[in-house]
Amino acid sequence: MDALTHLNESRNLTALAAELFNRGQYLAAGEFVWGAIVHAVAAADPDHEMQPPDRFGNPHLAPNTSATFSSAIRRITGLTFSEGQIASCLYNGQQQLHNHFYHLNLTPQDLQHSIGVATAYAQLLMRAADHALSR
């Protein structure tokens, strides 16, 4: 998938997550926000299309594990996330929202909070991808 397709998917998932959130469907909204973050990182990562296929035969190495996400986000030009911000983005997105989708381990308040924080990160990452694609 090319960078523009990833960016468009991130936008679509973010919009869908907002719609679901407004309807009180927090479980689905949280998972879509995490997907939006992953797509935004892939869109902004200058080396994304250069990655070798992963072990499952995907044509790209999706930044959906802590290690691949952290590596990819550090390569994004024009984005200066501190290590704490990278950790916060991963915590609220992957550890909280993605894990909650499978384990239902968050309180409604914690779920809504993590969705808000993760959505803010998705928006920052989409802006970085827009910037990278406009070059």
Query: Could you give the CA distance from residue 97 to residue 28 in angstroms, rounded to a whole number?
Result: 9
Query: Could you give the CA distance from residue 60 to residue 31 in angstroms, rounded to a whole number?
Result: 21
Determine whether 101 is exposed, middle or buried from the number of CB atoms within 10 Å of its CB (0-12, 13-18, 19+): middle
Tell me the per-residue pLDDT of 16-59, one tens digit each, with 9 for 90 and over. 999 999 999 999 999 999 999 999 998 998 887 655 555 444 54
Tell me the per-residue pLDDT of 84-108, one tens digit each, with 9 for 90 and over. 998 999 898 888 998 999 999 999 9
- Return the exposure string of 14-32: e unless at least 16 CB atoms fall within 10 Å of the residue's CB, then b: bebbbebbeeeebeebbbb
In CATH, what number is assigned to the domain containing residue 89? 1.20.120
Residue appearing with tokens 């910037």: 131
- Number of structural domains (the chain) is 1
Its domain, for residue 76, covers 3-133
